[in-house]
Structure formats: C-alpha cells, structure tokens
C-alpha cells in the first residue's frame, strides 16, 4: 500500500476557514479595499495569447529587483510568501534538523518545516509579546537549520528592530534565517537594504496584504545571490502564473494607492487602540495591518465577553483570535 512519508503523516491537516465566507474575514489580513484600479485595468487587457504561453518570470523579477534596489540574482518571485517558506524548508532542512519559531506566529513555518521531517522548536514570545532574543539565542545549536521571524508578527503585530534578526543570523551561520516582512508596508522598516545583511539571511515580502492581491498569489524571496541560486534549483520555473506577472509591475507602479491604504489602516489602528482604552482592556500597539493584542487578566470566559463587546456592530471589529492568555483582533 502506498504510504505518505512519516513526516507528512504526522502533520495535522491545515484547513483555513475559507468555507462559507460571507463578506470580509479580517483574520486573513487581506486588504479591505482590494487592489489598485490600475492593476485591474492591466488584468482586463490580457488576451488569450498571453494566457496560452508559459509565464516568463525573469523580466518581472528584474523589475522587482530594480524596485527593491537589489540585483536580479538576489530576488525570486514566488507563489506567495507561502511558497517562499516552502522553498526555504526544501532547500535547507534535512529530516531531524531543527527549525526555530517564536510563538504565537504564522502557522505555515511549522507546517512546511515539519513536512521536511524537521523538529520545530517553539520559543514563547515574552511579556508584551516581546521578541525572546536571549531564549532564542540559547536554543541555537548545530542542528538549527531554519529560524523564521515574522516582522511585524502575525497575529500579534509586534515588531523587532532590524538589529535583532541580524544578531540571530550571525549567531546561527549554519541556519537559513527568514525575516518575513509580509506586513512591511504597514510598519515601514525593513532589513532588506541593510548593508551588513549576512548571506544566511532571507527576506520575504508579499503582494497579498497592502497591495490587495492575495488571490493572485505573488510574493518575493530575497537573499544572497549564491544562496538564492540554491533556492532557485528547487522552484518551478513557472511557479508564478502569467496573470500575476502581468499585474505585478502595475502594482509596483501604483505606490500612491498602497500609501493611501496604509494610511487608512494606520488610522484604523489608532481607532482600535482608542476603543481598547475606552473599554479598559489592555492592548499592545501594533505595527501590522490592524492587529492588536489584548492580553487581559481574568478567565477565558471574561476575556471572551470583553472581545465580544469589542465586536459590537458599531465598532467595525469582525474577528478575534484566542490564545491561552491573550486575544488578538483586527479592525477594518
């Protein structure tokens, strides 16, 4: 009988709650306004011939690299950041290796690492969701081959200074250190152009959030040219489809649209913080797209009822997450 690999059999099936979606599900952190009209116009201009051909990623990759101030050899377009994470795990993880993540965080790091047979080491974020730098550094050992840092983090919105992942990368030269900047636009700080970026440090970006293109599945993985050549060996030459490639340059050109949306989200963050203050709930300022952590004391039941008050119809807050002693929410 055909059997899946042991590592795959031990994975839990991951089912994003897509079924029965009515209206917006803000917990996916999608854009609430959709993509730029210029992107839509470009998509409408596509003809049958452009879809009949296999997509040519490289010209768009060059354009993106240019936009980011990097060489084309340092940039790989991916099928969303999800694929970037998958590719890094396939390139660097052997069964039995260790992958370190700081929890709570985005689910896909653990899933892709486990699928390769790696052991996922979870380090709990500190008080106030602070990055547990010392605990993380203490866990690094020769088996550590991947460390993923979402900056800002999902679902807490917490961000770290660039110096932190740099320190992590220097402490683990045998590990691929991923700085996932999926929410970069809402934060404004990046490690991408840092002059001292070590060769084992990778940066991921997405067009799913601020650019409103989650449905097209486009992301960027950037890193040292030599390392990226290794990652490229694992990627399909056609991993990004022709529709996404057609849309991407237009999405890059319409920065004004992104800036306007980011300003709106930042305003929403301030409204949410005000709501937390009004309700007397503890909150942590977020650097992401409207996340706000509330780690308030009391029973789970009491926290739930606090969050339910936040979700009252007049408050435009649609979804909350629950941890063991914290909750996170978004506003639109």
Residues that bind ligand PLP (CB under 6 A): 29, 80-82, 106, 150, 154, 180, 182, 206, 208, 214, 219
**For residue 267, what are its two tokens?**
């305003």
Q: How far apart are the first and last CA of the chain?
A: 50
* Closest distance of CB 111 from ligand PLP, Å: 12
For ligand PLP, give the closer residue by CB, 45 or 238. 238
- 268 and 29 Cβ atoms separated by less than 8 Å: no
> Rg of the chain's alpha carbons, rounded to an integer?
20
- 140 and 175 Cβ atoms separated by less than 8 Å: yes
- 76 and 217 Cβ atoms separated by less than 8 Å: no
User: In the Cβ-directed half-sphere of 262, how many Cα atoms lie within 13 Å?
Assistant: 17
Beta strands 144-150 and 119-124: pairing type? unpaired
* Closest distance of CB 2 from ligand PLP, Å: 29
* Closest distance of CB 28 from ligand PLP, Å: 6
For ligand PLP, give the closer residue by CB, 104 or 306. 104
In the DSSP assignment, the letter for residue 135 is H
The residue nearest ligand PLP at its CB is 80
**For residue 111, what are its two tokens?**
């899933």
For ligand PLP, give the closer residue by CB, 115 or 281. 115
For ligand PLP, give the closer residue by CB, 26 or 121. 26
Beta strands 292-294 and 219-222: pairing type? unpaired
* Closest distance of CB 29 from ligand PLP, Å: 5
For ligand PLP, give the closer residue by CB, 178 or 228. 178
In the DSSP assignment, the letter for residue 211 is T
* Closest distance of CB 26 from ligand PLP, Å: 11
For ligand PLP, give the closer residue by CB, 219 or 306. 219
* Closest distance of CB 108 from ligand PLP, Å: 7
């Amino acid at each position: 009988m055909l059997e899946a690999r042991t590592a795959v059999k031990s994975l839990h099936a991951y089912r994003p709650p897509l079924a029965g979606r009515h209206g917006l599900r803000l917990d996916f952190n999608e854009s609430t306004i959709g993509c730029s009209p210029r992107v839509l116009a470009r998509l409408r201009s596509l003809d049958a011939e452009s879809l009949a051909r296999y997509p040519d990623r490289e010209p768009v990759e060059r354009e993106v690299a240019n936009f980011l101030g990097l060489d084309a050899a340092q940039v790989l377009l991916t099928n969303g950041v999800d694929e970037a994470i998958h590719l890094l795990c396939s390139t660097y993880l052997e069964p039995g290796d260790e992958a370190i993540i700081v929890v709570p965080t985005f689910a896909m790091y653990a899933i892709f690492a486990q699928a390769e047979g790696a052991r996922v080491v979870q380090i709990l974020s500190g008080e106030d969701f602070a990055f547990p730098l010392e605990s993380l550094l203490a866990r690094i050992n020769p088996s550590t081959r991947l460390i993923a840092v979402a900056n800002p983090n999902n679902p807490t919105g917490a961000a770290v200074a660039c110096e932190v992942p740099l320190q992590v990368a220097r402490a683990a030269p045998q590990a691929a250190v991923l700085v996932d900047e999926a929410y970069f636009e809402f934060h404004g700080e990046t490690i991408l152009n840092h002059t001292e970026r070590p060769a084992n440090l990778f940066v991921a970006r997405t067009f799913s959030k601020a650019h409103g293109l989650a449905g097209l599945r486009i992301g960027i993985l950037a890193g040292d040219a030599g390392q990226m050549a290794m990652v490229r060996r694992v990627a399909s030459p056609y991993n990004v489809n022709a529709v996404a490639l057609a849309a991407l340059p237009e999405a890059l050109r319409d920065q004004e649209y992104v800036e306007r949306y980011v300003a709106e989200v930042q305003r929403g963050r301030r409204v949410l913080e005000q709501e937390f203050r009004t309700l007397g709930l503890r909150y942590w300022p977020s650097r992401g797209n409207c996340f706000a952590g509330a780690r308030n004391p009391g029973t789970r039941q009491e926290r739930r009822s606090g969050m339910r008050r936040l979700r009252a119809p007049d408050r435009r807050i649609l979804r909350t997450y629950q941890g063991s002693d914290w909750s996170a929410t978004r506003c639109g």
